[in-house]
Chain A
Amino acid sequence: MGKYVLRFTALGYLALLLVLPVAMVFGRAFENGVGAAWESVTTPEAKHAFLITILITAIVVPANTIFGIACAIAIVRQRFPGKGLVNAIVDLPLALSPIVVGLAFLLLFGTGGWLHDVPFDVVFALPGMVLATIFVSLPFVVREVVPVLREIGIEQEQAASTLGASSWQTFRRVTLPAIRWAVAYGIVLTTARALGEFGAVSVVSGRIVGKTETMTLHVEERFQSFDYVGAYAASVVLAILAIGTLVAMSLFKPKEGA
């Protein structure tokens, strides 16, 4: 009896909070037919927004993957002054409001900012959007790789270097194969966050339609212009990407308790 009460409370909560609302978006997007939904996600603005999102993701994910692996190695394998600080700072993007992140880049690179004089536009342009997205998706690879590095220990790496491997060879032949699933899982999380970032990019991009508008900004802009089919259809595209992410996550997820 008690078991069923718990089960139905849990499933009911999930249905009402998660599943039904997401299903509802699919319903709303297609309420005027699939054709109308398709048309609204293939307008030049929608296509451009999609392209910008893909472009940002294509820069951010490799950058944060390389940084993530390097940072995890530094945290686990090396001693250096300020290590405690590095460890604390890496987590900060998880807990910080994306609006504060956007504001930070606006102030740093905007008029009167310390780095206003860089020779290219950062604020209200692609570089700022890339930087803000790098910030918000920074911790994911690090946080996945650190525990795995701790667990595999250093014996194999030491053996490899005793046998004459250079540190790059040791990394490529010994360390990287051992952490590859953790890296893959971290990449999935980074990608999801980069595709979906809204607040930070909203502040730093200036939201110029057809120029600095990402997919998520496009959803909001369509909604504010009362084009609900457009907003919901673009949401469906993002939701499908999210569901794809979930599938990838369950494939790469480290087995809990194993």
Chain B
Amino acid sequence: MEITNRPLSPHLQIYKPQLTSTLSILHRVTGVALVIGTIPFVYWLAALAGGAESFANAQAFFGSVIGQIILFPWVFALFYHLCNGIRHLFWDIGLGFELKTLYTTGTVVLVAAFGLTLLAYIAAYAMRGGAG
């Protein structure tokens, strides 16, 4: 397309960040993050298919500090995208567009995503503690 001197709407950084716009872009960011996050998931499955040795290496990697640093945002991204995705599905059937509802459901999504992430971690550590 030709570049013309047509008037532009104010750039993104002019607008005051709001919960609605922040959650919207976070949906995209977590979506792309999850795409990248499929790589460790596929690696884990491939390592299992590879045999006992490669699986032990994979388990050691995910149990390491670097593995945990990757896994924590991975789990959060999944739960956030899942919860906000449900919010999107409600919009698709025409529900929840009132401004007040948007803010309420937005807050619920954030709290649920953090809560589920924390819960998953507590459960995972309890399992590991119980197993070892």
Asked if chains A and B come from one complex, the reply is no
A residues whose Cβ falls under 8 Å from a Cβ of B: none
Question: CB within 8 Å of A: which residues of B?
Answer: none
